[in-house]
Chain A
Amino acid sequence: EAGVVQSPRYKIIEKKQPVAFWCNPISGHNTLYWYLQNLGQGPELLIRYENEEAVDDSQLPKDRFSAERLKGVDSTLKIQPAELGDSAVYLCASSLVLAEGGNNEQFFGPGTRLTVL
């Protein structure tokens, strides 16, 4: 079974440029997450989707970040314009959440390492 796929794996851009990351979750997983991982820290949730609905985007900086999950499968995360402080690893994860309070095992992709110059 294929895991969570992310692309690109690495991206280098200049500040003020736009950038987009793509994620393909594990087949059949209804819930998708985007996390931000700064160097030397644990991942922090940016946004969570249940199918195509964003159910928790409270940590997403909406002035420059946007995300979508059309058709409830693949997802893209965009930054426009990028700032120097956005340099980090962007992780995508997916899970199959069957019921409120159910076991929540998330499967992570390898991440996209963004460097903003």
Chain B
Amino acid sequence: AQSVTQLDSHVSVSEGTPVLLRCNYSSSYSPSLFWYVQHPNKGLQLLLKYTSAATLVKGINGFEAEFKKSETSFHLTKPSAHMSDAAEYFCVVSDQGSSNTGKLIFGQGTTLQVKP
């Protein structure tokens, strides 16, 4: 069965410093992996996605993530945090090639706090 584990429930950084949100996944198939962001009272927005192409994926707002199969990780990074990055971040796995096409499995979420 597929699953994701977000290793930190809460991350706090200062504005202008790097962001690292950690995610490990478990999948029986070649996975598709996503990062979504959720701002208060707003819908989930896709930041980036990995679908078996380049292992380093660039997303919106300066975020990127690297797929590491040997470590079963898909950590999200950003070189310099902005106040507007404060939100809830979800690591998500979807199995390509399984009979459950379309089923997303969400992690528990990581709350990113950005201090001025």
Contacts and interface: CB of A to CB of B under 8 A. Distances in A.
A42 B103 contact: no
B104 A3 contact: no
B94 to A, nearest CB: 5
Given A42-B108, A42-B109, A104-B94, A48 B43 contact: no
A97 B102 contact: yes
Interface string B73-116: 00000000000000000101010111011111011110000000
Interface residues of A, number: 30
Contacts of B98: 101
A110 B46 CA distance: 13
Give the interface size class of chain B: 20 to 34
A95 B41 CA distance: 22
Contact of B101 (A4, A44, A104, A111): A104
Interface in A1-26: 3-4
Given A107-B46, A108-B44, 4 more contacts: A41-B108, A42-B92, A106-B102, A108-B43
Interface secondary structure of A, over-half rule:
loop
A40 interface: yes
A40 B88 CA distance: 9
B92 to A, nearest CB: 8
B104 A104 contact: yes
A41 B96 CA distance: 24
B101 A97 contact: yes
A102 interface: yes
A105 B43 contact: no
